C-alpha cells in the first residue's frame, strides 16, 4: 500500500496510543444541507468508516467513539429508532472491514439496554474479531460517564472492598475501560466547548482538540491535523 502523503505532516513514531472522539454535528450538518436529521446521521456513519479505517492503517492502537449516550434516549422516538437501525446496519456490514483491517471490535456502556438485534450483532462482532491484533475500536453505546462511575462505586461496595485499600487503580478496574489505557487525545467536532459526560474519569490528563468542523465533514486530513497539534504539546501530567 502506497504511503499516504498526509503522513508527511506527522511523526508516525509518536502517535497518540489512544484517541477518543466526540462525534458531534450530524443534525446541524443536515440542517445546513437542507436535509432531515436522519440523513445527517447516515452521513456521519460514512465518516466513522473513513476515520476507523485510516486510524487502523496508520497504526493507532485504540480508538473510542461516542456513538450513543444515555441522554440520547430523550430525543424524539422516531430519531432514536432510526439511530438504532443505523447502528444495526453498521454492525451488520462492518464486520468484513474489521476482519480485513485486523480491527478488534469493542463496546463500553450499558449495552444490555439496547435492542435485541443490536446486542446480538455486538456479540457477534466481538466474538469474530477477538483475536485481531490491530486497532481496538470501541463504540460508547448507551454510555454516560457519571453513570459509569456510579456503577463502579456500587460494585465496589457490593464486593466489600476495604476503604483503606481503595485506590485510583482499584476504581479504574471497575470501569468499562478497565482493559483500555486512558485517552492521550480527545477530539470534539462541531466546536462545542464541553465534554458531554464522556469518559469523565479517563480524560483527567488527556489533550483536548476541538474543531468547528461538523462530524459528517470530518475527513482524515483533520485527524492528521489533530495528531499534528498533539505532537507539539508537552504532556507533564501535573508535574513541572
> Which residue is associated with the grid cell 462505586?
153
Residues 117 and 168 in one domain: no
The whole-number pLDDT of residue 240 equals 56
d(CA 62, CA 130): 14
Has residue 3 been placed in a domain?
no
Does this model's pTM top 0.85? My answer is yes
- φ and ψ of 30, to 5 deg: -65, -45
Residues 158 and 93 in one domain: no
Residues 172 and 84 in one domain: no
Give the CATH number of the domain where residue 73 resides: 3.40.1180.10
Catalytic residue at 26? no
Residues in contact with 85: Cβ distance below 8 Å, sequence separation at least 6, in sequence order: none
pLDDT band at 114 (very low <50, low <70, confident <90, very high): very high
Q: Which three cell numbers stand for residue 163?
A: 476503604
Which of 4, 11, 26, 72 is labelled catalytic?
72
Percent of the chain with pLDDT over 70: 98
CA distances 178 to 10, 169, 170, 174, 192, Å, are: 30, 9, 10, 6, 28
Residues 128 and 168 in one domain: no
Which of 24, 125, 142, 184 is labelled catalytic?
24
Has residue 133 been placed in a domain?
yes
Q: Which three cell numbers stand for residue 167?
A: 485506590
Q: In this predicted model, what pLDDT tens digit does every residue of 208-234 receive, in sequence order? A: 999 999 999 999 999 999 999 999 998
Q: Quote the number of domains for the chain.
A: 2
Residues 61 and 156 in one domain: no
Has residue 200 been placed in a domain?
no
Residues 55 and 172 in one domain: no
Region at 233 (left for phi over 0; alpha for psi -120 to 50; beta for the rest): beta
Give the orientation angle of helix 77-100 with respect to helix 37-58, to 10 degrees.
20
Catalytic residue at 9? no
Note down the domain range covering 159. 145-176
Has residue 32 been placed in a domain?
yes
Residues 81 and 190 in one domain: yes
Residues 72 and 191 in one domain: yes
Output DSSP code: residue 181.
Answer: P
Amino acid at each position: 500500500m502506497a504511503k499516504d502523503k498526509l503522513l508527511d505532516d506527522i511523526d508516525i513514531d509518536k502517535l497518540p496510543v489512544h484517541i477518543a472522539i466526540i462525534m458531534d454535528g450530524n443534525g446541524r450538518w443536515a440542517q445546513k444541507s437542507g436535509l432531515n436529521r436522519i440523513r445527517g446521521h447516515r452521513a456521519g456513519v460514512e465518516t466513522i468508516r473513513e476515520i476507523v479505517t485510516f486510524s487502523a492503517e496508520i497504526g493507532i492502537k485504540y480508538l473510542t467513539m461516542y456513538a450513543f449516550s444515555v441522554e440520547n434516549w430523550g430525543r424524539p422516538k422516531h430519531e432514536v429508532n432510526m439511530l438504532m437501525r443505523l447502528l444495526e446496519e453498521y454492525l451488520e456490514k462492518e464486520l468484513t472491514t474489521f476482519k480485513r483491517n485486523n480491527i478488534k471490535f469493542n463496546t463500553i456502556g450499558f449495552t444490555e439496554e439496547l435492542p435485541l438485534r443490536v446486542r446480538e450483532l455486538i456479540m457477534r462482532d466481538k466474538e469474530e474479531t477477538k483475536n485481531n491484533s490491530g486497532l481496538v475500536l470501541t463504540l460508547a453505546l448507551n454510555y454516560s460517564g457519571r453513570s459509569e462511575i456510579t456503577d463502579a462505586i456500587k460494585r465496589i461496595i457490593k464486593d466489600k472492598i476495604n476503604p483503606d485499600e481503595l485506590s485510583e487503580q482499584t476504581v479504574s478496574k471497575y470501569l468499562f475501560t478497565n482493559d483500555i489505557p486512558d485517552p492521550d487525545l480527545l477530539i470534539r467536532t462541531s466546536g462545542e466547548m464541553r465534554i458531554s459526560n464522556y469518559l469523565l474519569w479517563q480524560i483527567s490528563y488527556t489533550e483536548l482538540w476541538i474543531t468547528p468542523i461538523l462530524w459528517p465533514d470530518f475527513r482524515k486530513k483533520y485527524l492528521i491535523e489533530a495528531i499534528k497539534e498533539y505532537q507539539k504539546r508537552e504532556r507533564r501530567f501535573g508535574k513541572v
